[in-house]
Amino acid sequence: MEGTIHYIGVVPEYRGRGFINELLLKATRILQDIGVWRIFSDTDVENTPMRAAFEKRI
Domains: count for the chain: 1
3-class state of residue 23 by DSSP: helix
Could you report the per-residue pLDDT of 1-58, keeping only the tens digit for each?
999 998 888 999 999 998 999 999 999 999 999 999 999 998 999 999 888 888 887 6
pLDDT recorded at residue 58: 63
pLDDT of residue 55: 86
Range of 6's domain? 2-57
Measured CA to CA in angstroms, residue 34 lies from 9, 14, 29, 37 at distances of 23, 29, 9, 9
